[in-house]
Every structure is written in C-alpha cells, then in structure tokens.
C-alpha cells in the first residue's frame, strides 16, 4: 500500500493505459499457465476485474494507474516466489479491502474463506505497517501473528514490498529513507529467513541505493568496469572443472554469479578494505541434475573433484547437506585458492536444492511430501507462536528480540543424549537450558560444554555438546536478560522476574488499601488507576512494588480531591518536564535548515553516535525530553529510528556557514616510515590550515595506525583532506570515524 497522488508524471492516453494493463494481465496468466486447473482462469478473471474496478480512480505516485501495482505484485508471487493461483488472487486483491469499497464479505462470497483470511491478514499488515506508523514494532507483532496462521501472507507482503522498493523513485526523500530503513531492518531479514535469497538480495541493494547513494553508485560503477576481466577469470577457473565433471558423466550447469552490491559493501565495511581488496566479488555455482537418492553423494563427489583441482580453505567449508538451515536451504559451500592466488567461493547444489534456495518456502512446500525435514519450518513457526502468546512486554524490545532470535543464522548444538537443538548464532549455555525446558532454564546454575565446566554466559558454537547443571535453590535475576539472545529465554526470564516482583508487590497492595481507606476513598480499580497514572507507572503492579520497596510513601494522597469515595487527581497536575514535539516540529513537509543565517530558530543537538558535520546527508529526530537531534542517514542507529519512529523524522539540510568548526576524526593506516608523522601534520596544519585537537600514533611491526581529531567547517573540507592524505606515499587507507567511539 502506498500514498496515492493524482498528479500524472507520464503521458499515456486512456487507450494506451488500457492496453498496458491488459498486457500485464496476460503476462500474469502466462506465468501461471502450468499451474492452472479447470475453473482457475475464470477465478483469476473475476479477481482482476474486481481489483481493476475498485482501483479505477486511483493513481500511484508516478501517475500510472494503481491497478498496475497489484498486477506487478501478483507476477512477483507467481514468477519469483513460485506461489500458485490462490495466492495470486490474494495478491491482486491485497489493497482492495483497505483502500476501496470492497469488504471482506465480498471477497469471501466471490472466492472462499481461505482467500478472505489471507486478504484480511494482508489488510491488517498494510494498516499497521505502511501508513506512517509510529508503532512499527507493535505492528510487526501483529504481522507475525498473521504469519503463523498462514505463511503466504508474509510471502505476498514481501512481493508487495519488493515492488514498492522497485518503484520508490517517485516518493519524497524522507519517505524513501523511512521505507528503505524499514526494508533493511525487517523485510530483508524476513525474506532471508523464508529462504528467498534473490528477493533478500534485491531488497538490500534497493534500500542501499537510497540510504547510501554515493557508495552504491561507486560499487556499481566499479563492478561494471571490472566485468570483462571477471568474466575472463571465471572462464579460466571453470574450464578444468568442466572437463572433470564431463568426464565423470555428471548432468550439470556451472557458472559464475556476481555478489550483490550490498554484500560487497558489507565486506568492505566489516573488514575495512577497499573494493579492489574484496576477494570474493563473485561465487561459482555448480548445479547437478541428480536423482533424489543420489543428491548428497553426487554433491560430495563434485566437492572432491573441485578440491583435487584447487586447494580448499579448511575453515570455509559449510555443510548444509547433512544439516539444512531451518528455512530449508541445502548446499555445500567451500572456498578454494584459484589461479593468480585469488580465493573463490564455490557452491554445490542439486536442481531441487537450487529451487528451494531461490523460491524458499514456496518450493519447500512443493517438495514437502514425505520429506523428513518438513518439520523445520513448522518448528520455527511454533517457536514464534509460543513467544507471541507469552509476550506482553515493550514492543520495541520484542522487535529487537525477534531479529536476534528468529532472523539470525543458526548453530546446531547437541544434548548429552545426542539430540540436536537449533539455536541462533550468539546463543549461550543459558539459552540452551531454556531451549530444553523453561523449568530447567530457571534453575540453571552452569553447564558442561564438551565435558568442561563453563559459566551461564558461555557462548556456544556449532557442534558443541552441552549438559546443563541445575539447582532447586536457583532464581533468575535481571542480569540474565543480558546473557540470553533467544526470545523464548528472554520472555521466560521476564515472567519469572515478574512473579518475584508480584510476591514483593503483594505487601505494597495492602499498604495502598490501608492508606486509601484511611483517606475515605474506596479500594477499587478506578482509584488504583488514578494513583498509577499520577505516579506515572505503567501498571498497578509497578505502583504496588514501588510502595513495597519504599520508593514512594503516598504522602501526596492528601492533595487529592474526593468525590464520594472516588479519587480525583489534584488540579493542576505536576508539570511534566519534557519538550512538546509539536513546538519543536516544523510543518510535516517543510525542510529544516540548520546552521547559518537563514536557519530555523529551533534548538537542536548533534547526535553523539555519528557526529554529523555540514555536508553530511542528515535527518532530524524529535526525541522526548531532548528536542531535535541531528543524525547522519548512515548512522548505526538510523535504520532503527526511521523504521520504528518514522513519524518523528524531520527532513533536514545544512546552510552554508564558514564561521563554525566541527570536531571529527580520521584514522590513517600506512607504512611506518621516517618522517611520516611530519608529512601528515605539515599537510593538515601547514597546507590546509586545519586545527588539530588530538593526535595518537601507534607503530607495530612496520605499520602505523594514527587517530587524528580535527576541526573542519564541512564535509567538503574533510573530503579534500582525506583525498590529499591518500596521495602521500606509504599511506594505505584513510577513513573517517566518529570521535565519540574513538
């Protein structure tokens, strides 16, 4: 779903539009042809006409007829995800109940209760997620409730998001940032978890195009410049393997595939290397046409042939044949040393595995009959259901827990009897205890990993065998929440802590009851709610607890008024010391100008997490109590802020002002050479006349690393400095860092 605008940005006559819509509809029918059963074509026709009629007066931001959006989403479902006719009908109708006069009853009457249920799920998601929602995390919870009923809801939603990302150009910049952040934060990991690798990759690349436009363009340019040289290398690498596979009489395909821009950028960031130094810009894929019972054996045979030709890196072997991921992914990955001393990643899979890798959940269902593995997804959904049913804590926490718990890669850990448990990467011995049973979790005092005694916080690795040690005297404490990463463990610990709190709060309950009755007020829900609101607690449990531990003594009770036996809060209530967001915010569509003669008279601060300087791409964020804070759009916290609190984001730009200097930092790595420090300081202070605030240089084994804090007026000045430093001989890399984290 998206905001609809009536200003056409393109010129097509009504006739041309009709032809275009019809062409898209026919393409959709063609893609579904192998799946059509008798009567399906008529049902599709009804759905298409129903949607076209319902949306006929609506246009997208680009000015094109709105019906092209549901048609495109339906095609993505059919062609790229591999869903069937019923899902395609749901995709065609996904916006009708929310945006038009069509009701769920109409959908059910025309089609079936199954289709109505899925459309209802999609409507709930749209209502909760795309409309400037401030409650992103709360909404996400609702999505997951729907997801666990019918995973098709989430698959169609991913198709909807993918089409919106492909057509994001006509949106306003702040909307692009918000939608892209949300995509990276929630939808790409979800696509990955559903096994839709192609869609996950495209979502990440498209989001990066808007969130990091310069880096995106730069990597894309370098990829296209090195394309010929890469193709030549791939052919050279593949040739001997092809000969071996043909001799071995395998039915196979082998080809090279470039890595996505987003994953290359991630490598550059994580390893701190330049584009030229990222070794695996592509992966080689071998796809075997094997009989189901021969798949595993043939994949290992091919692995053996490849490693006879090229030496493998022992720690880079990934065996997802014996232990598939919970999203159904199966393959063998290895990294080998190719010609010219380059490391190359090789992925080996059968045709069936390849379809599951590309179509994820949808293909998984196709091959599900009789597969021993069918329970993996169901287990995953079951875990989500469990957590959702027990969750009543803060939704933002929930989203964070969900991401770390359900969208992370897994490790496989064994019980003393050899049963395998799947846990997210980063899980601890305490997570494992809760994974076995909550009763074991709450009594856990330690563990033995591979027969060695370890603390609760010990991080587990794939293949560990874990034995949990318990004691009936053990009680969970607040620190445990920092030890665990799985949502189940977190929610069970919170439950146990709440139980403990409830016992302590019981004492407070009697004190409150006594004080109210002495004052002449009744001990009833109304009066408890009035007191809870007055002392600014979230629940009566918190109020009773605070009274019990003597943090409040209810002496303000005498300021209350009594109406019969009902408490009325004192007038006026205590003033709340916080900035009202409406005074700090300009009009929604206005652009804040910061720093300079023309700057709006608004108090703001520069975020410490990313230290913006003039010229950086920035946005304003209105926070309660702090007013407006300015962040860089690539700040580590930006995606979370924009995805969860989109309504508090303000479009912001810099005004030119050469009077004020800003503290920033650069990190320089180079060869430890005589006079190198002199060269650097001469350039900064002497030639560029910049003020140095602090400088530290450490030399080790022939290399030096220098951190320099300097004052600059804007980003241009910083970029000029970085460019000039890179030209000095012996300098290996120059990067900006945030002075706070230095």
Spatial distance between the Cα atoms of 333 and 284, rounded to a whole number of angstroms:
10
Query: Which candidate, 75, 63, 76, 78, places its Cα nearest to that of 6?
Result: 63
CATH number of the domain at 460, please.
3.10.20.30
Q: Tell me if 534 is assigned to some domain.
A: yes
Reduce the DSSP state of residue 243 to 3 states and report it: helix
As annotated, the active-site residues are 98-99
- pLDDT(579) > 60: no
Within this chain, do residues 393 and 502 fall inside the same structural domain, yes or no? Answer: no
Q: Tell me if 480 is assigned to some domain.
A: yes
Q: Tell me if 267 is assigned to some domain.
A: yes
Q: Tell me if 276 is assigned to some domain.
A: yes
| pLDDT-derived band at 361, boundaries 50, 70, 90 | low
Instruction: Examine the fold and report which residue of 177, 211, 245 is the final residue of a domain before the chain moves on.
Output: 211
Element housing 581 (H / E)? helix 581-584
Q: Strand 618-623 relative to strand 452-454: parallel, antiparallel, unpaired?
A: unpaired
CA distance to 15, 200, 269, per residue, from 195 (Å): 41, 9, 25
Within this chain, do residues 501 and 487 fall inside the same structural domain, yes or no? Answer: no
Cα dihedral sign for 585, 589, 595, 600? negative
Q: Tell me if 6 is assigned to some domain.
A: no
pTM: 0.61
Average pLDDT over residues 468-491: 85
- pLDDT(81) > 80: yes
- pLDDT(78) > 70: yes
Please check whether residue 649 is in contact with residue 619, taking contact to mean a CB–CB distance below 8 angstroms: yes
More confident residue, 425 or 5: 425
Within this chain, do residues 590 and 555 fall inside the same structural domain, yes or no? Answer: no
Average pLDDT over residues 220-244: 87
pLDDT in tens, 88-140: 888 888 887 777 777 778 887 888 777 888 877 777 665 544 433 344 555 55
pLDDT, residue 346, reads 92
Within this chain, do residues 116 and 189 fall inside the same structural domain, yes or no? Answer: yes
| pLDDT-derived band at 600, boundaries 50, 70, 90 | very low
* Percent with pLDDT over 90 in the chain: 3
Q: What is the number of other CB atoms lying within 10 angstroms of the CB of residue 546?
A: 16
Q: Strands across the sheet with 627-632, in order? A: 592-594, 649-654, 618-623, 627-632, 604-606
Helices (H) and strands (E) in the chain, counts: 30, 22
* Helical packing angle, 85-92 and 152-166, nearest 10°: 50
Reduce the DSSP state of residue 363 to 3 states and report it: helix
Please check whether residue 421 is in contact with residue 415, taking contact to mean a CB–CB distance below 8 angstroms: yes
CATH number of the domain at 90, please.
1.10.3210.10
Beta bridge partners of 619: 631, 651
Within this chain, do residues 667 and 561 fall inside the same structural domain, yes or no? Answer: no
Q: Is 108 exposed, middle or buried (0-12, 13-18, 19+ CB in 10 A)?
A: middle
- pLDDT(20) > 80: yes
Spatial distance between the Cα atoms of 183 and 181, rounded to a whole number of angstroms:
5
- pLDDT(380) > 70: no
Spatial distance between the Cα atoms of 349 and 362, rounded to a whole number of angstroms:
18
Q: Tell me if 699 is assigned to some domain.
A: yes
Average pLDDT over residues 390-409: 58
Query: Which candidate, 274, 286, 285, places its Cα nearest to that of 226?
Result: 274
Q: What value does the mean pLDDT of the chain take?
A: 78
Q: Strand 627-632 relative to strand 649-654: parallel, antiparallel, unpaired?
A: unpaired
Within this chain, do residues 144 and 183 fall inside the same structural domain, yes or no? Answer: yes
- Cite the beta strand spans of 289-377 per DSSP E: 311-312, 318-319, 332-337, 343-350
Structure tokens at 4: 């609809």
* Helical packing angle, 261-271 and 213-225, nearest 10°: 110
Please check whether residue 464 is in contact with residue 449, taking contact to mean a CB–CB distance below 8 angstroms: yes
pLDDT, residue 69, reads 87
* Helical packing angle, 113-129 and 85-92, nearest 10°: 50
Listed ranges 118-127, 154-163, 405-414; the one with the highest mean pLDDT: 154-163
What's the chain's Rg over C-alpha atoms? Answer: 30
Q: DSSP secondary structure string, 13-61?
A: -HHHHHHHHHHHHHHHHHHHGGG--TTHHHHHHHHHHHHHHHTTT-B-T
Average pLDDT over residues 241-270: 85
- pLDDT(396) > 60: no
Within this chain, do residues 202 and 347 fall inside the same structural domain, yes or no? Answer: no
Within this chain, do residues 74 and 194 fall inside the same structural domain, yes or no? Answer: yes
Within this chain, do residues 733 and 591 fall inside the same structural domain, yes or no? Answer: no
Q: Tell me if 35 is assigned to some domain.
A: yes
Q: Strand 343-350 relative to strand 282-288: parallel, antiparallel, unpaired?
A: parallel
pLDDT, residue 389, reads 58
Spatial distance between the Cα atoms of 149 and 121, rounded to a whole number of angstroms:
9
Please check whether residue 698 is in contact with residue 705, taking contact to mean a CB–CB distance below 8 angstroms: yes
Please check whether residue 94 is in contact with residue 55, taking contact to mean a CB–CB distance below 8 angstroms: no
- pLDDT(11) > 70: no
- pLDDT(666) > 50: yes
pLDDT, residue 287, reads 92
Spatial distance between the Cα atoms of 44 and 64, rounded to a whole number of angstroms:
22
Instruction: Examine the fold and report which residue of 211, 231, 264 is the final residue of a domain before the chain moves on.
Output: 211
pLDDT, residue 527, reads 84
pLDDT, residue 636, reads 78
- pLDDT(423) > 60: yes
Q: What is the number of other CB atoms lying within 10 angstroms of the CB of residue 6?
A: 9
Q: Tell me if 3 is assigned to some domain.
A: no
Within this chain, do residues 338 and 407 fall inside the same structural domain, yes or no? Answer: no
- pLDDT(654) > 80: no
Reduce the DSSP state of residue 488 to 3 states and report it: helix
Q: Which domain holds residue 646?
A: 581-654
Spatial distance between the Cα atoms of 222 and 682, rounded to a whole number of angstroms:
33
pLDDT, residue 366, reads 56
* Cis before 621 (ω within 30): no
pLDDT, residue 117, reads 80
- pLDDT(584) > 60: no
Instruction: Examine the fold and report which residue of 533, 568, 603 is the final residue of a domain before the chain moves on.
Output: 568
Q: How many domains would you assign to the chain?
A: 6
- pLDDT(16) > 70: yes
Within this chain, do residues 392 and 458 fall inside the same structural domain, yes or no? Answer: yes
Within this chain, do residues 36 and 169 fall inside the same structural domain, yes or no? Answer: yes
- pLDDT(559) > 60: yes
pLDDT, residue 124, reads 64
Average pLDDT over residues 23-43: 83
How many alpha carbons lie under 13 Å from residue 318 in its C-beta half-sphere? 18
Reduce the DSSP state of residue 490 to 3 states and report it: helix
Element housing 412 (H / E)? strand 410-414
């Amino acid at each position: 779903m998206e905001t609809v605008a009536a200003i056409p940005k393109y010129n097509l006559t009504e006739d041309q539009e009709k032809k275009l819509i019809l062409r898209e509809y026919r393409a959709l029918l063609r893609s579904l042809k192998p799946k059509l059963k008798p009567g399906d074509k008529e049902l599709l026709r009804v759905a298409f006409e129903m949607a076209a009629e319902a949306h006929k007066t609506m246009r997208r931001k680009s000015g094109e007829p709105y019906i092209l959006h549901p048609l495109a989403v339906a095609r993505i479902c059919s062609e790229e995800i591999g869903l069937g006719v019923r899902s395609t009908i749901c995709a065609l109708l996904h916006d009708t109940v929310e945006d038009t006069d069509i009701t769920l009853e109409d959908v059910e009457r025309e089609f079936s209760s199954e289709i109505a249920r899925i459309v209802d799920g999609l409507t709930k998601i749209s209502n909760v997620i795309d409309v400037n929602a401030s409650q992103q995390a709360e909404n996400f919870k609702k999505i997951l409730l729907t997801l666990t009923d019918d995973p098709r809801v989430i698959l169609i939603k991913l198709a909807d998001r993918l089409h919106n990302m492909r057509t994001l150009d006509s949106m306003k910049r702040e909307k692009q940032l918000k939608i892209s952040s949300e995509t990276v934060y929630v939808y790409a990991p979800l696509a990955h978890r559903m096994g839709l690798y192609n869609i996950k990759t495209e979502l990440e690349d498209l989001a990066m195009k808007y969130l990091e436009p310069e880096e995106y363009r730069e990597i894309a340019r370098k990829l296209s410049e090195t394309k010929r040289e890469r193709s030549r290398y791939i052919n050279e690498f593949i040739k001997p393997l092809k000969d071996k596979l043909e001799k071995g009489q395998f039915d196979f395909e082998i080809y090279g595939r470039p890595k996505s821009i987003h994953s290359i950028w991630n490598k550059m960031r994580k390893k701190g290397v330049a584009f030229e130094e990222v070794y695996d810009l592509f992966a080689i894929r071998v796809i075997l046409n094997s009989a189901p019972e021969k798949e595993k054996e043939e994949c290992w045979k091919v692995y053996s042939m490849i490693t006879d030709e090229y030496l493998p890196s022992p720690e880079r072997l990934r065996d997802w044949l014996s232990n598939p991921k919970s999203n159904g992914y199966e393959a063998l990955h290895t990294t080998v040393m190719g010609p010219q001393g380059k490391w190359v990643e090789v992925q080996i899979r059968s045709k069936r595995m390849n379809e599951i890798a590309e179509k994820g959940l949808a293909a998984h269902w196709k091959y599900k009959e009789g597969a021993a593995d069918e329970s993996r997804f169901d287990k995953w959904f079951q875990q989500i259901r469990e957590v959702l049913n027990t969750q009543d804590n803060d939704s933002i926490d929930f989203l964070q827990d969900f991401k770390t718990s359900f969208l992370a890669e897994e490790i496989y850990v064994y019980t003393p009897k050899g049963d395998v448990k799947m846990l997210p990467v980063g899980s601890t011995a305490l997570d494992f205890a809760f994974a076995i049973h909550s009763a074991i979790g709450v009594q856990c005092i330690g563990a033995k990993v591979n027969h060695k005694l370890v603390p609760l916080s010990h991080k587990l690795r794939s293949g560990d065998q874990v034995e949990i040690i318990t004691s009936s005297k053990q009680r969970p404490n607040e620190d445990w929440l920092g030890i665990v990463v799985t949502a189940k463990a977190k929610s069970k610990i919170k439950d146990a802590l709440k139980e403990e709190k409830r016992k302590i709060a019981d004492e407070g309950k009697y004190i409150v009851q006594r004080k109210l009755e002495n004052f002449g007020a009744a001990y009833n829900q109304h009066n408890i709610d009035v007191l809870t609101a007055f002392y600014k607690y979230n629940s009566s449990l918190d109020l009773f607890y605070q009274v019990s531990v003597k943090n409040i003594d209810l002496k303000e009770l005498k300021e209350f008024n009594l109406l019969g036996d009902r408490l009325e809060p004192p007038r006026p209530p205590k003033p709340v010391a916080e900035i009202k967001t409406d005074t700090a915010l300009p009009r929604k569509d206005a652009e804040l100008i910061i720093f300079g003669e023309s700057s709006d008279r608004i108090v703001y601060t520069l975020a410490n997490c990313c230290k913006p300087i003039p010229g950086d791409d920035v946005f304003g964020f209105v926070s309660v109590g702090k007013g407006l804070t300015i962040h860089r759009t690539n700040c580590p916290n930006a995606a979370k802020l924009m995805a969860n609190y989109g309504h508090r984001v303000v479009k912001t730009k810099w005004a030119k002002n050469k009077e004020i200097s800003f503290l920033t930092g650069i990190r320089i790595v180079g060869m430890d050479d005589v006079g190198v420090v002199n060269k650097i300081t001469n350039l900064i202070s002497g030639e560029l006349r910049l003020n140095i605030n602090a400088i530290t240089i450490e030399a080790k084994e022939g290399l030096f690393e220098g951190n320099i804090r300097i004052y600059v007026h804007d980003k241009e000045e910083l970029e000029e400095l970085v460019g000039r430093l890179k030209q000095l001989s012996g300098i290996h890399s120059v990067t900006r860092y945030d002075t706070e984290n230095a």
